[in-house]
Amino acid sequence: MNINSLPKDYRSRLLRETNCIHKEPIPSKTLAKLLNACPKDSVQDIHFCTTPELEKDEVCEEQLRKAEYIEILKKRIPEIFKSFVKYSGEFEYSLFLDLMFDEYAGESPFKEMFPEGYPTKFNFLNIDERVFKFVEQNLSIGFMFLFGTDEDNLTLVVPEEFIEIVDGTKRSMAGFHDYCKVYANLYGICDPETVISKWNVNHSDNPLTKSQGIAAINECSLFTRYFTNYGVCLCNWSVETPVVMDNIIESRKHHRPYRPTSEEFNDWLDYTDDINENLAEFKTIREHFKKHSDNPAAAEFDALCLLDDLRIGLEHPTAIIERYRLQIGFTRIDMDKITPIISAIMELNNKARLWVTYGNTSNELSPSQKSDFGMRDLKQNPSVDRSMPKVGRNDPCPCGSGLKYKKCCGKMVN
């Protein structure tokens, strides 16, 4: 794939955000010259340096001194790619084959997956951004190499040995990564059993045991940009510190998890990043930041940070607004221009899926609806099918909440 197929602003971001310098073509097989690992225990922090030997700056030289990790990476990256092939969703997998193996697209397994050609249903509104983020992530992990003579003649290359991995890996677990992404996005912190239970409900022909599911989540966390796994729980990437984790867990003790409808869940599987980014209020805030802040280039990042601040709930929304007024420079703007931003932030707080309320929006937790929780659940479960397999009181609830049966749907039966 020639990088020229991406919009120019994405190409520029790609160069900047993957820490690349490009002066001359370098064969893709010379992995040791291309990959420069930073922390020994981190696969994410890989940077690329294709600058000729005589032109290396001090930063590249420092990175190249860490070449003792290259041999480890040469073994790890193919294994990580194998996990990607095994668990990635249909869009990511087909995009990888279509963009990176052009000459391979007419052969197995791509031909078997899409006998009538590349599916038209992947016509997302934000397709350019999604392709960019996909490329950026796989560059950072090391699935792809980027080389060329100048910015307009850069080519993405996948090592030839990866073709054997594509041919030899079964995709019976295809899409499991997206299940993890949805719940990490919805809850911020999620019990692995919630993901496993939902997967088993939708894949009764290929159910997972708890140990199999946790192993799959661990593998997915190697290549994803959406979540990480702390052993006992699955966390969104924005949930970075124990303080934040403790605050989220403590704040939602009195809330029941929001259970997405099948339609919502299927829609969220296709979201690029965040299930809240399509809210009109979020888009309004982002546009206000671009128009009025001291640093318009950081508007997207600032808007995402604000969204995370609201969901994590470490501060009251009014305190968050005041902090952003000072940080972004809104204090010098007329109040009549500030009011719409403040209104949009408050409305975003009401409509966003909040981690501190277990994926519920503030509107859904209004007093008139809190008392209605049990009644709504009873209406959705008018009868109990005694022919179904018996669920023990201490077993995970089949509904996917992550709670024990006796503390969830078992209450309605008993």
Percent of the chain scoring above 70 in pLDDT: 59
Q: How far apart are CA 24 and CA 204, in angstroms?
A: 52
Tokens of 54: 């005589």
Q: Which two tokens stand for residue 36?
A: 């420069």
pLDDT-based confidence at 323, cuts 50/70/90?
Answer: confident
- Cis amide linkage into residue 109, ω under 30° from 0: yes
On average, the pLDDT of the chain sits at: 72
Q: With both helix axes pointing from N to C terminus, report the angle between 242-251 and 299-312 in degrees, rounded to the nearest 10.
A: 50
User: Residues 55-67: pLDDT tens digits?
Assistant: 445 544 444 444 4
**pLDDT tens-digit series, residues 88-136:** 988 888 778 776 665 555 555 555 555 565 555 455 556 667 777 777 7
The mean pLDDT value for 210-222 works out to 92
| 223/48: higher pLDDT | 223
**Cα distance between the two ends of the chain:** 60
More confident of the two residues 47 and 152: 152
- DSSP 8-state secondary structure symbol assigned to residue 257: P
Q: Which of 131, 206, 137 is nearest to 173 (CA)?
A: 206
Q: Which helix (H) or strand (E) holds 75?
A: helix 70-87
Smallest CA-to-CA distance from 79 within 161, 136, 134, 192 is with 161
Closest CA relative to residue 162, chosen from 181, 141, 133, 147: 141
Up-side HSE of residue 289: CA atoms within 13 Å toward CB?
A: 26
Q: Examine the pLDDT at 357 and tell me if it is beyond 80.
A: yes
DSSP letters of 26-38? --TT-HHHHEEES
How many residues does this entry show for the chain?
414
